[in-house]
Amino acid sequence: METIEINSTDGLSKVAEAVLRASHGKGVVAFFGEMGAGKTTLIREICAQLGVADTVTSPTFALVNRYDTSDGEPVYHFDFYRIEKLEEAFDLGYDEYFDSGALCLVEWPEKIESLLPDDALTVRLTVTGPTSRIITISD
Over the stretch 78-120, which tens digit does the pLDDT of each residue have? 999 999 999 999 999 999 999 999 999 999 999 999 999 999 9
Label the pairing between strands 74-79 and 103-107.
parallel
pTM (predicted TM-score): 0.95
Domain boundaries, the chain: 2-138
Q: What is the pLDDT of residues 55-84, one digit of tens each?
A: 999 888 889 999 999 999 999 999 999 999
Residue 134, helix vs strand vs coil: strand
**Which strands make up the sheet holding 2-6, listed edge to edge?**
2-6, 133-138, 121-127, 27-32, 103-107, 74-79, 64-68
The mean pLDDT value of the chain amounts to: 95
Q: Which CATH superfamily is domain 2-138 in?
A: P-loop containing nucleotide triphosphate hydrolases (3.40.50.300)
Q: What is the pLDDT of residue 25?
A: 80
Helices (H) and strands (E) in the chain, counts: 4, 7
